Structure 1
Amino acid sequence: MRLRRKPWARPELAACPFYIDNPPEMKGKWRELFGNDSPMHLELGCGKGGFISKVAAANQQINYIAVDIKSEVLALAKRKIESEYSAAGITEINNIKLMSQNIELIDDMLAPTDAIEKIYINFCNPWPKSPYKKKRLTHGKQLTRYKTFLKPGSEIWFKTDNNELFRESVKYFEENGFIIKYTTEDLHASGFTESVPTEHEIMFSREGIKIKFLTAVYME
């Protein structure tokens, strides 16, 4: 479903202290921006912020970068983050940054010195037709980009409802120097307890669709 244009979205983001207007300018400077040496995690395609707001509010010792390409959804994510932090009694939002960026060019905004330690990819576009599979966020072409800023030993956590995407993604990871640490084709029956549910995950689960999940470790 296409999100309607929201005229208020861009002005609201422009006034947001944790929104970064030009992320490529921060390449190699993210630790300086956060002002500490805490681990940095990255969500690719944060959508309306249901996942990242909960994870970031619950883990103040970790810095988070949340990326999406649409201002309309980022503005909703901004509001969700503010709401989640307020509910948790956190008065200052210091450990998360929002930004708009084409994920296919994600390495334009992150350098090796930024040393990302975890990437979350939740319910990305499956791009089922062969000519477009290279646009998948788990495709080898993208994994090569991620490796330019991942710290050795870092993990990618990947969730999807799509069987074909999941099984082909396992191959992408293995072919590109990642070790599959954990995998399940039915997350909610697996006993894995460290995962925070996303909006899509809740929706698909209610429809009886099993959630596929893996963690892959980057080995330099």
Structure 2
Amino acid sequence: MRLRNKPWAPKLIEDNPQIIVPNPKERKGKWSELFENDNPLHVEVGTGKGRFVTKMAASYPDRNVIGVEKYDSVIVTGVERLLENPLDNIRLLKADVTNITEIFDSGEVDRFYINFTDPWPKNRHEKRRLTHKSFLKKYSEILKDTGEIHLKTDNQGLFEYSIESLSQFGFKLKQVTFNLHESNMEDNIMTEYEERFVEKGIRIYRLEAYK
């Protein structure tokens, strides 16, 4: 994916610490203090432009929602969304998911969302897939004992790989569908990519995994 340069993005991010949390590693183990409640903490890794997390936060005010994205030029759109429609139960983090265990403490997260991540189809790039065992180890460390991972993708290869990877790591699977939009699932919140794919008739794959 080619990223459009937005030279003004870092300044907008810096000017809005109420949306983009500065120095998120300092919040490790203290996210409930930031939100001032003990509501479940749901985290989307690779949140992109923030459509999913902002809709999630608006739809479920009893959840604390965090979107993690490493690119300024992408996450700044999420900042703009929240400046236009502020919400108290959401924060964005400019961070790399490889450092996720430095941001959240053991048992601090109730659910991870992985939506339309890069499938990295070449075998030599397997370790970059967000459902590779090295990432699953990190998620597992910071998920509650009842924690879950929800995955959506348009890539059948990544989906089948993720089923195997999650199962081998010890996660149990439920709500596995090879065609989400012909299933009976309710309350599905679509990402930007998902909406485009559905309009083109592209099949969406989805699963839920739990510890």
TM interval, shorter chain, is over 0.9
AA partner of residue 121 (structure 1):
I
Deviations along 1:177-198, one digit per CA (max 9) or x if unpaired, are: 2110110110000111132111
Of 90, 95, 112 in structure 2, the residue corresponding to residue 96 of structure 1 is 90
Deviations along 1:134-193, one digit per CA (max 9) or x if unpaired, are: 111111110000111100111111000001100010011111121101101100001111
| Runs of 4+ residues deviating >6 angstroms | none
Partners of 1:112 and 1:212 lie apart in 2 by 29
1:146 aligns with 2:139: yes
Whether the 8 Å CA contact 1:43–1:52 is kept in 2: the answer is yes
Aligned to 1:45: 46
Whether the 8 Å CA contact 2:57–2:87 is kept in 1: the answer is no
Aligned to 2:160: 167
Partners of 2:206 and 2:101 lie apart in 1 by 24
Partners of 2:146 and 2:170 lie apart in 1 by 11
* 3-state SS in 2 of match to 1:144: helix
1:59 aligns with 2:60: yes
Partners of 1:57 and 1:51 lie apart in 2 by 10
* 3-state SS in 2 of match to 1:128: coil
* 3-state SS in 2 of match to 1:99: strand
Aligned to 2:15: 15
Return the offset for 1:52.
Answer: 0.9
Whether the 8 Å CA contact 2:112–2:149 is kept in 1: the answer is yes
Partners of 2:129 and 2:75 lie apart in 1 by 21
Whether the 8 Å CA contact 2:120–2:128 is kept in 1: the answer is yes
* Percent identity between the two aligned chains: 39
Partners of 1:216 and 1:147 lie apart in 2 by 11
Partners of 1:54 and 1:183 lie apart in 2 by 23
Whether the 8 Å CA contact 2:19–2:82 is kept in 1: the answer is no
Partners of 1:82 and 1:185 lie apart in 2 by 36
Partners of 1:4 and 1:197 lie apart in 2 by 23
* 3-state SS in 1 of match to 2:37: coil
Whether the 8 Å CA contact 1:125–1:136 is kept in 2: the answer is yes
Partners of 2:203 and 2:81 lie apart in 1 by 26
Return the offset for 1:81.
Answer: 2.9
Partners of 1:101 and 1:117 lie apart in 2 by 19
Whether the 8 Å CA contact 1:104–1:135 is kept in 2: the answer is no
Aligned to 1:111: 105
* 3-state SS in 2 of match to 1:20: coil
Aligned to 2:151: 158
Partners of 1:59 and 1:135 lie apart in 2 by 31
Aligned to 2:184: 191
Of 173, 198, 201 in structure 1, the residue corresponding to residue 194 of structure 2 is 201
Deviations along 1:65-88, one digit per CA (max 9) or x if unpaired, are: 1100001111101112333x3xxx
Q: How do residues 57-96 of structure 1 correspond to structure 2 at under 5 angstroms?
A: 57-83=58-84, 85=85, 93-96=87-90
Matched residues, number: 210
Which segments of 5 or more consecutive residues in structure 1 lack a partner in the other structure? 86-91
